[in-house]
Amino acid sequence: MQGGAVVKHILAGIFSIFLFHSLFAQDGEVIGSVEFKEGLVQVGRPTRVLMEITHPEDMVVIFPDSAKDFFPWEVASTEVFPTRTNAGISVDAKFYYIRTFELDSIQYVELPFYYVLGQDTLTRYTNPDSIEFDPVIEAMSDTLTLKPHLGLTYVADPPDYMLIFLVSVFIFILLLVAAVLGYKPIMRKVRVWRLTREWEKVKKAMGDTQGKVSQQEIFIQELNSAWKKYLDQDRKIALRSLTSTEIEQVLFELDDLEPNDKVVLNEATKSMDMVLYAGLSFEQQKMQQLFDQIFGIMEKEFNRRKGAVSA
């Protein structure tokens, strides 16, 4: 009974809006509008937005359906209602269930729609509508409490300049010998050794992270931090400072990653947002599977770098 009442309520609302448009729309005019049906939006959780197009009865109109029409929103599902016509004026209505991974306090939506006029397909835009972002978890205060420290402070000895000089001379001699014996082969081995040593440290850190899989917030943060730091060591693309939506765009522009790996990393970023900002939780088995996939991606990147250095 409750489900039927809800459907009747929705249809009654759509019919009322249809009558409004029928009374005020001008002949031949195409009008599009969008309206959020909830007061707040949370990260990763779909929210309803109603889109309506008022148009002459004999005109063909087309709703948006591609991802680029909704950016930075994502469409989770849709619900279409039958066309209503009165006195030559039709109203088409459609519910979009959309979700966001942006963190702006106020978020907006404005959608394009299309209609056929003669031999041409024309584009128009709806009015913009806004909705307030609900962070779920309140921001923590960054005010620190000052505490006096009365213990003795260690003061390091001044630098031993003679030792520094001798070490510098020794290093210079080593480099000179390396250049004589074959600079490139030696440096190739040095780079491989550095890559291997770095990878061993990364593996140890990942092992520590894996042990925290039951502590989901800590686990997902450390996991995302690890792969972003390893794949962007020089900070050329600033992975650790981008939002989920921006990371998705950057990942699909990286030629070194396979398409499936990009999808996994994008899923990890969005999962972190849903855990930290929406308060969601995932099954431990899913988190373990995500860890294994990301570790495999990082291991492939290590082997790729090692092969490039060794070539």
If you average pLDDT over residues 224-233, what whole number do you get? 84
Confidence of residue 22 (pLDDT cuts 50, 70, 90): very low
Domain boundaries, the chain: 2-133, 161-310
- Record the pTM: 0.45
Where is 115: in which H helix or E strand? strand 112-117
Confidence of residue 14 (pLDDT cuts 50, 70, 90): low
In the prediction, which pLDDT does 106 show? 92
Give the Å distances, CA to CA, from 24 to 55, 92, 114. Answer: 12, 16, 21
User: What is the number of other CB atoms lying within 10 angstroms of the CB of residue 181?
Assistant: 9
With bands split at pLDDT 50, 70 and 90, how would you rate the model's confidence at 20? very low
What is the rounded distance in angstroms from the CA atom of residue 291 to the CA atom of residue 14?
46
Interaxial angle between packed helices 284-310 and 161-210, expressed in degrees from 0 to 180 and rounded to the nearest 10: 140
Beta partners for residue 74, in sequence order? 99
- Consecutive H or E run containing 54: strand 47-56
- Longest CA pairwise span in the chain (Å): 98
Gap between the terminal Cα atoms of the chain: 71
Query: Which residues lie closer than 8 Å to 121 by C-beta, 6 or more apart?
Result: 62, 114, 115
The answer to whether residue 118 scores a pLDDT higher than 80 is: yes
For residue range 239-274, what is the model confidence (pLDDT) as tens digits? 767 788 888 888 877 777 888 888 888 888 888 888
Structure tokens at 70: 């909704």
More confident residue, 33 or 141: 33
State the CATH class of domain 2-133. Answer: mainly beta
